[in-house]
């Protein structure tokens, strides 16, 4: 996912490097119980297949992980996790007792989420947050004969794309981002975020990107159709010392961007000068030049552009 060259992007394909949670939050990770068994059991009487209109091409190029979870009432009955590259990726077959069940499917590239409650699915920060799709069927009938259900996936995330119009100075080796106003947990039944969360991302910026503009993508679950995010940024040098740039608080060495408009399932692109105001080469050559992004594997509802 798939930017013009010479910019960093942290899109769903595991390119977001490290995301932190507030220190008071603790999480229990629930492992799947397929135990390395084939995704489609030979005597399966329930077969689940995913359908997603928003993707094009091979789904394994977009989502690195699929979670299939079966519930009966408040009880989690069975969970199967698939990784991209496995056989039958996007399809599972299970053997269950006859009865009525509920099915949840998650498609993402993050670390394992909690799976005990489809109304409060929390993602960890091990691999960062990613573009996430969800699907749910509240009434799946299982009998003695095999039956196939298609689970339609829809996007649950919104994305803030932060772009610098100026270039990275050589002394900047790390950036710290913290955004507030969205959620790291999603209610799969509604597709909305569950609670207000603080999401933190720390990124090492290599010297090879000196003199180039940067782009970062941050994912969250909005709790309503529209909302706002607040974004805080710090810059560090190779010794771990904070750096001061225009617009930063001179005591805290931090720059705050407040009330950034967001819409559910849409990209908000937020761009401007962050470092020293030195433009990228293409901007010098053509004052009307604009950055652009091609998203090859997924169709978002829209992109809104703002300058800061």
pLDDT tens-digit profile of 20-35? 333 333 333 344 555 4
Query: In this structure, what token pair is assigned to residue 19?
Result: 């995301």
Q: Distance between CA atoms of 94 and 70, rounded to whole angstroms?
A: 10
What pLDDT is stored for residue 11 in this prediction?
37
What pLDDT is stored for residue 201 in this prediction?
87
Residue 57 — pLDDT band, cuts 50, 70, 90? low
- Residue 209 has what DSSP assignment? G
Q: What is the share, in percent, of the chain residues with pLDDT greater than 90?
A: 66
**Which string of DSSP letters, residue by residue, matches 252-294?**
TTBEEEEEEEEETT-EEEEEE--SS-PBPHHHHH-TT----EE
Residue 60 — pLDDT band, cuts 50, 70, 90? confident
**Across the chain, what does the average pLDDT equal?**
82
Residue 3 — pLDDT band, cuts 50, 70, 90? very low
**Which string of DSSP letters, residue by residue, matches 138-198?**
EEEEE-SS-EEEEEE-EE--EEEEEEESBPBPTT--EEEEEEESSBSEEETTTTEE-S--E
The CATH T-level fold of domain 46-115+133-155 is: Immunoglobulin-like (2.60.40)
Residue 160 — pLDDT band, cuts 50, 70, 90? very high
The residues of the chain that CATH labels 2.60.40.1120 are 46-115+133-155
How many CA within 13 A on the CB side of residue 58?
A: 8
CATH class of 2-22+157-307: mainly beta
- Which has more confidence, 293 or 280? 280
Distances from the Cα of 87 to the Cα of 90, 253, 276, angstroms: 9, 50, 50
Nearest-10 Cα torsion for 177, 59, 92, 29: -10
CB 295 within 8 A of CB 257: no
pLDDT tens-digit profile of 88-119? 999 999 999 999 999 999 999 988 899 999 99
Q: Distance between CA atoms of 204 and 202, rounded to whole angstroms?
A: 7
Which of 249, 251, 272, 248 has the alpha carbon at shortest distance from 260?
A: 272
Q: Distance between CA atoms of 107 and 135, rounded to whole angstroms?
A: 9
Backbone phi and psi for residue 209, each to the nearest 5 degrees, phi listed first: -95, 5
3-state secondary structure of 7: coil
What pLDDT is stored for residue 33 in this prediction?
55
- Helical spans, DSSP H, in the chain: 281-285
Q: Distance between CA atoms of 295 and 3, rounded to whole angstroms?
A: 8
- Chain position carrying tokens 């789904």: 59
pTM score of the predicted model: 0.80
Which of 48, 63, 178, 66 has the alpha carbon at shortest distance from 125?
A: 178
């Amino acid at each position: 996912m798939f930017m013009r060259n010479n910019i960093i992007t942290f899109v769903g394909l595991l390119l977001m490097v490290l995301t932190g949670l507030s220190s008071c939050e603790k999480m229990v990770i629930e492992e799947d119980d397929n135990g390395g068994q084939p995704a489609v059991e030979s005597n399966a009487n329930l077969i689940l297949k995913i359908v997603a209109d928003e993707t094009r091409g091979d789904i394994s190029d977009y989502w690195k992980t699929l979670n299939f979870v079966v519930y009966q009432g408040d009880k989690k009955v069975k969970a199967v996790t698939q990784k991209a590259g496995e056989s039958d990726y996007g399809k599972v077959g299970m053997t269950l007792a006859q009865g009525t069940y509920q099915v949840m499917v998650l498609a993402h590239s993050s670390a394992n989420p909690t799976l005990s409650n489809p109304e409060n699915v929390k993602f960890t920060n091990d691999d960062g947050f990613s573009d996430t799709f969800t699907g749910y069927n509240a009434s799946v009938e299982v009998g003695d004969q095999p039956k196939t259900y298609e689970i339609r996936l829809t996007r649950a995330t919104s994305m803030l794309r932060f772009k610098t119009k100026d270039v990275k100075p050589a002394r900047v080796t790390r950036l710290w981002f913290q955004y507030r106003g969205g959620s790291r947990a999603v209610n799969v039944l509604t597709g909305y975020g569950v609670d207000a969360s603080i999401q933190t991302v720390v990124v090492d910026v290599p010297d090879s990107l000196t003199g180039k503009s940067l782009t970062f993508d941050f994912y969250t679950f909005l709790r309503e159709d529209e909302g706002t995010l607040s974004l805080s940024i710090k810059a560090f040098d190779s010794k771990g010392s904070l750096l001061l740039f225009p617009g930063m608080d001179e005591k805290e060495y931090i720059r705050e961007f407040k009330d950034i408009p967001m819409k559910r399932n849409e990209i908000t692109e937020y761009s401007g000068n962050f470092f020293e105001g030195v433009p990228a080469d293409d901007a010098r050559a053509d004052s009307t030049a604009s950055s652009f992004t091609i998203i090859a594997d997924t169709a978002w509802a829209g992109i809104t552009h703002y300058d800061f």
